[in-house]
Amino acid sequence: MTYDLKSLPSREVFPGFMGKFIHGTTMTFAYWDIKQGSTVPEHSHVHEQVVNMLEGEFELTIDGLPHRLQPGMVFTIPSHVKHAGRAITSCKILDVFSPVRQDYQ
Amino acid sequence: MTYDLKSLPSREVFPGFMGKFIHGTTMTFAYWDIKQGSTVPEHSHVHEQVVNMLEGEFELTIDGLPHRLQPGMVFTIPSHVKHAGRAITSCKILDVFSPVRQDYQ
């Protein structure tokens, strides 16, 4: 199935986090456009998550330890590991989850 | 776990297809740099595959039907569906597979 990100609708899932979503059978793709200073509080989920840093800078805190992500960096977050985030600048991120995130349908 | 694509080694998996690979627990990420005119013959695999077109143009043929992929397009290929490809121009593609591709380890 083909998707064009340019024409896919986006929605604000957390304040400042605009997301476009594509769901396969085993994975969910979340294309984020994030406003500078926006934060996501610490949380965890059963899904493995792979963060692809596309543009800007983002502070990803894993188990209380901060990591500064820049373009070209990729971060794998195992299932059930606690994480939080903060957009240091406006940024674009592709998060991929497996299994599918039913809450982003 | 953090990865920096700039310092990750790449290898030529098919002629003209240079790939960098990141393996999680449930997914494999393949970052391709493909030379114009390079082709991958028709094949299929158990893994679901999601093609993210980053730069250039690529002809993806699914079950004999060609699709012209341009930047910003995303294509989901279900498990066991036959597909082939040809780089119309030099291009960059992110392919994500689930489960992990043991043959790309």
Q: Where are the beta strands (DSSP E) in chain A?
A: 2-4, 11-14, 17-23, 28-34, 39-43, 48-55, 58-62, 65-69, 73-77, 83-87, 91-98
Model confidence pLDDT, tens digit, residues A1-18 = 999 999 999 999 999 999
Beta strands B91-98 and B28-34: pairing type?
A: antiparallel
Class of domain B14-104: mainly beta
Interface test with B, best of A4, A57, A77 (most B CBs within 10 A): A4
| pLDDT score, position B105 | 84
Asked if B105 has any chain A CB less than 8 Å from its own CB, the reply is: no
Q: Does B76 touch chain A (CB under 8 A)?
A: yes
Residue A70 has pLDDT above 90, yes or no: yes
Tens of pLDDT, residue by residue over B7-22, are 999 999 999 999 999 9
Confidence class for position A105, pLDDT limits 50, 70, 90 = confident
Asked if B73 lies within 8 A of A25 by C-beta distance, the reply is no
What value of ipTM does the predicted structure carry? 0.96
Chain B residues with CB inside 8 Å of A73's CB? 2-5
Residue A99: predicted pLDDT: 98
Query: Is the model's pLDDT at A89 over the cut of 90?
Result: yes
B14 CA: distance to closest CA in chain A (Å): 23
Mean pLDDT of A30-59: 97
Q: Mean pLDDT across chain A, nearest whole number?
A: 97
Residues 5-64 of B with CB under 8 A from A: 5-6, 22, 24-27, 29, 48, 50, 52
Percent of chain B with pLDDT over 90: 95
CB contact under 8 A, A1 and B98: no
Is A75 in contact with B3 (Cβ distance < 8 A)?
yes
- pLDDT for position A47: 97
CA A59, distance to chain mean position in Å, is 12
- What number does CATH give the domain A17-100? 2.60.120.10
**Domain boundaries of chain B, sorted by first residue:** 14-104
Do residue B3 and residue A73 have CB atoms under 8 angstroms apart?
yes
Q: Which residue has the tokens 């279900």?
A: B78
